[in-house]
Amino acid sequence: MAPRITTAEVAHVARLARLALTESELETFTGQLAAVLDHAADVEALDTTGVPPTAHPLPLVNVLRDDVVAPVLDREEVLAQAPATEDHRFRVPRIIGEAP
């Protein structure tokens, strides 16, 4: 049987999440993620005919607010938290790739 997940796949997912993992960490997490996927496979094996898909654990829908303006944060206070700002905007390093 093919492994639930390969270290190459874990390395790919780690890269997408911008996580730098060592070789031994990759091994550890590959094992842990395989266990999680095993559990998902167990659930998948159940007969769920007639069971509606669960979108959320809470038995709630339509939690809405009225379209009314609320107080905003002080700009200078927010900008003061950032590593770099310029011209009342957040300054970020050179971006590789493009926005979706």
Partner 1 sequence: MTDTVARTAGPGTTEWETVIGLEVHTELRTATKLFCGCPNSFGDEPNTNICAVCMGLPGTLPVLNRTAVDYAMRIGAALHCRIQPSIFHRKNYFYPDQPKDYQISQYDIPINTDGWLELPDGKRIGIERAHMEEDTGKTTHFGGGGRIAGADHSLVDYNRAGVPLVEIVSRPDLRSAEEARAYVDELRAILVASGASDGKMEEGSLRVDANVSVRPVGSPTFGTRCEIKNMNSLRSLGRAIDYEVARQISLLEGGGTVEQETRHWDENTGRTSTMRSKEEAEDYRYFPEPDLVPLDPPQEWIALVSDGLPAMPADRRAKVAAAAGLAPDSDAVVTVVRLDLDPLVDAAVAAGVDAGLAVRRLANEVAASIESVPALDVDAFVSLLGMEGRGELTTAQARTVLRTLLADGGDPVAIAKSLGFEALGADALGQAVDAAIAGNPAEWERYVGGEDKLTGFFIGKIKAATGGNADLKEASALLRSRREAG
Structure tokens belonging to residue 11: 């390395």
Which residue among 10, 70, 80, 83 contacts partner 1 (CB under 8 A)? 70
7 HSE (CA, 13 A, CB side): 8
Can residue 77 be called a binding residue for partner 1 (CB under 8 A)?
no
Q: Of 1-9, 28-36, 38-46, 54-62, which part binds partner 1 (CB under 8 A)? A: 54-62
The least distance separating partner 1 from the CB of residue 83, rounded to whole angstroms, comes to 12
Can residue 42 be called a binding residue for partner 1 (CB under 8 A)?
no
3-state class (DSSP) for residue 95: coil
Structure tokens belonging to residue 89: 């905007």
